[in-house]
C-alpha cells in the first residue's frame, strides 16, 4: 500500500505541473539540465502522471481482489 500512495503523489504532482505550465508564458523549460520545448516538457510530465495513475489503479484493483 505504501508504494501505491507514492504513485498517487506522483499523479498529483505531474498533473499539477502540466496544468501550471499553461499559465506560465515560457516557450521552453529546463528538464534534467537541458532546455526543451514546453510541449515536450508537458508530454514528459503527462506520461509520468498517466503512468503513475495507471499503476495506482492497477494496484488498487489487485488489492480489492485479494480482500474479497
- pTM > 0.75: yes or no: yes
Rounded Cα distance, 37 and 27, in Å: 6
Closest by CA position to 3, among listed 56, 51, 64: 56
pLDDT digits 0-9 by tens, 18-52: 999 899 888 888 878 889 998 999 999 999 999 99
Which residue has better confidence, 60 or 11? 11
Rounded distance between C-alpha atoms, residue 56 and residue 31, angstroms = 25
Position 67 scores a pLDDT of 67
Please classify residue 50 by burial: count the beta carbons closer than 10 Å to its beta carbon, then call 0-12 exposed, 13-18 middle and 19+ buried: middle
Amino acid at each position: 500500500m505504501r508504494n501505491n500512495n507514492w504513485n498517487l503523489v506522483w499523479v498529483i504532482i505531474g498533473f499539477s505541473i502540466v496544468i501550471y505550465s499553461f499559465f506560465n508564458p515560457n516557450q521552453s523549460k529546463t528538464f534534467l539540465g537541458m532546455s526543451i520545448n514546453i510541449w515536450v516538457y508537458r508530454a514528459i510530465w503527462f506520461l509520468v502522471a498517466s503512468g503513475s495513475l495507471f499503476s495506482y489503479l492497477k494496484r488498487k484493483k489487485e488489492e480489492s481482489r485479494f480482500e474479497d
